[in-house]
Amino acid sequence: MKYALISVILLASACPAGAQFRGERPDYGKPELYLKQGTQSFLSSGTAAQISGELALPSGADHIRTLSALYFWLMDAFTGEALGGRTVGKTTAEGLIKNRKLGGCHDYALVFSAALRTLGYPALMADAASIRWAKGYKPGSATYGHVFVEVYAGGKWLLVDAVTGRMILDYDPSNPVIPLYLDREPKGFYALMKGPDPEAYGVNSIDSLHRAMEEFAQKLPVMDISYPQYDIVTLSRYSPPVQTAAEEQLTGPCGQGPCHGLKKTGMIMQLGGHDLHLEKTGAGYAAHLYPYGKIFTAGETRTMTFPDLRALNAYLKELQADD
Name the pairing type of β-strands 101-102 and 79-80: parallel
Same domain, 117 and 179: yes
Same domain, 229 and 291: no
Same domain, 214 and 86: yes
* Contact residues for 78 (Cβ-Cβ < 8 A; gap 6+): 96, 100, 101, 102, 111
How far the first Cα of the chain sits from its last, in Å, is 32
pTM of the model: 0.70
Strands (E), the chain: 8-9, 79-80, 101-102, 123-130, 145-153, 156-160, 166-168, 177-178, 189-195, 232-234, 267-271, 274-281, 284-291, 302-306
Same domain, 95 and 230: yes
Same domain, 212 and 251: no
- Structure confidence at residue 323 (pLDDT): 54
The 10 Å Cβ neighbour count of residue 286 is 18
145-156 burial, b if ≥16 CB within 10 A, otherwise e?
bbbbbbbbbbee
Same domain, 221 and 97: yes
Q: At what angle do helices 45-55 and 63-77 cross, to 10 degrees?
A: 100
Whether 253 is in a domain gets the answer: yes
- Structure confidence at residue 23 (pLDDT): 36
CATH code for the domain in which residue 229 is found: 3.10.620.30
Phi, psi of 203 (to 5 degrees): -110, 110
Same domain, 49 and 149: yes
Contact of 122 with 154, CB cutoff 8 Å: no
- Structure confidence at residue 21 (pLDDT): 33
Q: How many domains does the chain divide into? A: 2
Kindly calculate the radius of gyration of the chain based on its CA atoms and give it in whole angstroms. 22
- Structure confidence at residue 226 (pLDDT): 86
- Structure confidence at residue 243 (pLDDT): 63
* Contact residues for 282 (Cβ-Cβ < 8 A; gap 6+): none
Whether 104 is in a domain gets the answer: yes
Q: Which of 203, 234, 265 is the last residue of a domain?
A: 234
- Structure confidence at residue 162 (pLDDT): 97
pLDDT tens track, the chain, 323 positions: 333 334 444 443 333 344 323 336 899 999 999 999 999 999 999 999 999 999 988 888 899 999 999 999 999 999 988 777 788 989 999 999 999 999 999 999 999 999 999 999 999 999 999 999 999 999 888 889 999 999 999 999 999 999 999 999 999 999 999 999 887 777 899 999 999 999 999 999 999 999 999 999 999 998 888 889 898 889 988 755 446 889 999 999 998 878 888 989 999 988 877 889 999 998 899 999 999 878 998 899 999 999 999 999 999 988 876 65
Q: Which of 184, 206, 234 is the last residue of a domain?
A: 234
Whether 242 is in a domain gets the answer: no
The 10 Å Cβ neighbour count of residue 210 is 16
Same domain, 13 and 161: yes
- Structure confidence at residue 19 (pLDDT): 31
Whether 1 is in a domain gets the answer: no
Beta bridge partners of 304: 287
Same domain, 216 and 251: no
Same domain, 102 and 217: yes
Whether 2 is in a domain gets the answer: no
- Structure confidence at residue 239 (pLDDT): 58
* Amino acid found at 7: S
Whether 239 is in a domain gets the answer: no
The SS3 of residue 66 is helix
DSSP H or E stretch at residue 46: helix 45-55
Name the pairing type of β-strands 284-291 and 274-281: antiparallel
Whether 88 is in a domain gets the answer: yes
Same domain, 228 and 267: no
Q: At what angle do helices 63-77 and 105-118 cross, to 10 degrees?
A: 140
Q: Which of 173, 134, 130, 129 is nearest to 151 (CA)?
A: 173
Same domain, 274 and 224: no
Name the pairing type of β-strands 166-168 and 156-160: antiparallel
Whether 292 is in a domain gets the answer: yes
Domain that holds residue 223: 8-234
Q: How far apart are alpha carbons 21 and 14 in whole angstroms?
A: 10
Q: Which of 201, 234, 267 is the last residue of a domain?
A: 234
